[in-house]
Amino acid sequence: MTTPLVEMDGDEMTRILWQEIKDKLLTPFVDLKTEYYDLGLKHRDQTDDQVTIDSANAIKKYGVGVKCATITPNAQRVEEYGLKQMWKSPNGTIRAMLDGTVFRAPVLVNGITPSVSTWKKPITIARHAYGDIYKNTEMMVAGGSKAELVVTDTDGNESRRLIHDFDGDGIIMGMHNTDPSISAFARACFNFALSIKQDLWFSTKDTISKIYDHRFKDIFAEIFENEYKSEFEKAGIEYFYTLIDDAVARVVRSQGGFIWACKNYDGDVMSDMVATAFGSLAMMTSVLVSPDGKYEYEAAHGTVTRHYYRHLKGEPTSTNSVATIFAWTGALGKRAELDGLPELATFAARLEKATLETIENGIMTKDLVALSTLPEKQGVGSMEFLDAVAARLSNTVLK
């Protein structure tokens, strides 16, 4: 390796897997070069979350990062870890700093059939990674209050809209997005569709949100018409916009093999639905792509807390490491592409192959046993699975 990968360590069970993946699948085979950032909750608290900002800046500097799942603190976590404050989601912070788009795609493996029987090809969800409720301001409102939206322009003129006259107590939320961010999102989606030659779908709720969501629709349409239409025609792919309700119905009846672009919240929710229907959240990969071509790879699932507590009690666990392995292979593969390192690219491809072949040969974690249609299969522990992949990988690499 010539340029270091930005390595962001995380929390709980995925932190345990992170170290094991490095020890068993990476360092024995690759002269691994990383710049390490510990995004574990304790260290985020110690650094007042500066480490998260530093890691995002490092991705901007080097271009490629790989991230372990991290805890997004809630009230219970504040107590559990004795936190100074309820730190923001690291993913949210990094996404906002890179203003990127998150593409999530399932890892398909023989023997695991999607629960939606028509799905034959992966569905990639493109999630807008900036704004909306992830950057909101919310308040409790006392009965008798009047809530208004107030915008002050550069000349100091105010525009006002009544939100609600509250008779009783209630709640209120303000959120925003920006034309540049929506435009970057649109371009990232169009570019990604061209690069993998798949149709692009985009959905919002513009019939209800006639200004906010409608703006997304218009920006996409304008950029498509002006910049991408002929390239899409040449590539034989199409872009189409539809209401989110209609999109959901069409997705379920489809064969897959397209990109579904979603607003931030829709993408968060729909990616979990799509991942689960494809088999397992543990088989879903995720990459954040910034408009200027910086990449951050991670698994789509969380820190698998329940398994971690079992692990702490010394009980056996069977946590699926596939998405985390694919985060590493994605990042190493991208580094290889950018730095012109064919051997590193080959290694990343071999590691993916060894991982899938292990499962296709019947050795898998327990979450997959329930899903696999293979006649002979064995549910193994977290570490046994990694050992099996390592054994297969050694053979592949030595050949």
Residues 42-81 that bind ligand NAP (CB under 6 A): 69-72
Q: Tell whether residue 304 is a contact of ligand NAP (CB under 6 A).
A: yes
Provide the sign of the torsion angle of the four alpha carbons 123, 124, 127, 128, taken in this order.
negative
Look at residues 309, 323, 305, 315 and name the one whose alpha carbon lies nearest to residue 106.
323
Provide the sign of the torsion angle of the four alpha carbons 229, 232, 238, 244, taken in this order.
negative
Residue 111, CA distances (Å) to 108, 376, 380, 381 in order: 9, 11, 17, 19
* Number of residues forming the site for Mg ion (CB under 5 A): 1
Look at residues 55, 56, 53, 49 and name the one whose alpha carbon lies nearest to residue 72.
49
Helix ranges, the chain (H): 12-21, 41-46, 50-62, 75-81, 90-98, 179-196, 212-223, 229-235, 244-253, 264-278, 305-312, 322-339, 342-360, 366-369, 382-398
User: What residue number has its CB nearest to ligand NAP?
Assistant: 302
Query: Closest approach of Cβ 27 to ligand NAP, in Å?
Result: 22
The one of Mg ion, ligand NAP, none whose footprint includes residue 264, by CB under 5 to 8 A per kind, is: none
Residue 101, CA distances (Å) to 118, 126, 198, 256, 368 in order: 27, 7, 17, 20, 29
The one of Mg ion, ligand NAP, none whose footprint includes residue 303, by CB under 5 to 8 A per kind, is: ligand NAP
Cα within 13 Å of Cα(243), Cβ side: 9
CB within 8 A of 76, min separation 6: which ones?
A: none
Span near Mg ion by CB under 5 A; candidates 129-137, 218-226, 264-272, 320-328: 264-272
Cα within 13 Å of Cα(195), Cβ side: 8
The one of Mg ion, ligand NAP, none whose footprint includes residue 71, by CB under 5 to 8 A per kind, is: ligand NAP
Which CB atom, from 18 or from 119, has the smaller least distance to ligand NAP? 18
Q: Tell whether residue 93 is a contact of ligand NAP (CB under 6 A).
A: no
Q: What angle do CA 136, 138, 139 make, to 5 degrees?
A: 165
Residues 12, 132, 213, 268: which binds Mg ion (CB under 5 A)?
268
Q: Tell whether residue 301 is a contact of ligand NAP (CB under 6 A).
A: yes
Which CB atom, from 185 or from 220, has the smaller least distance to Mg ion? 185
The one of Mg ion, ligand NAP, none whose footprint includes residue 268, by CB under 5 to 8 A per kind, is: Mg ion
Chain centre distance of CA 40 = 18
Residues 94, 112, 281, 363: which binds ligand NAP (CB under 6 A)?
281
Residues 42, 120, 210, 306: which binds ligand NAP (CB under 6 A)?
306
Residue 94, CA distances (Å) to 144, 301, 337 in order: 39, 17, 23
Which CB atom, from 280 or from 290, has the smaller least distance to ligand NAP? 280
Look at residues 133, 219, 222 and name the one whose alpha carbon lies nearest to residue 182.
219
Q: Tell whether residue 305 is a contact of ligand NAP (CB under 6 A).
A: yes
Q: Tell whether residue 319 is a contact of ligand NAP (CB under 6 A).
A: yes
Residues 52, 55, 91, 177: which binds ligand NAP (CB under 6 A)?
91
The one of Mg ion, ligand NAP, none whose footprint includes residue 96, by CB under 5 to 8 A per kind, is: none
The one of Mg ion, ligand NAP, none whose footprint includes residue 355, by CB under 5 to 8 A per kind, is: none
Q: Tell whether residue 302 is a contact of ligand NAP (CB under 6 A).
A: yes
* Number of residues forming the site for ligand NAP (CB under 6 A): 17
Query: Closest approach of Cβ 137 to ligand NAP, in Å?
Result: 21
**Binding residues vs Mg ion (CB under 5 A):** 268
Binding residues (CB under 6 A) for ligand NAP: these are 69-72, 91, 281-282, 298, 301-306, 319-320, 367
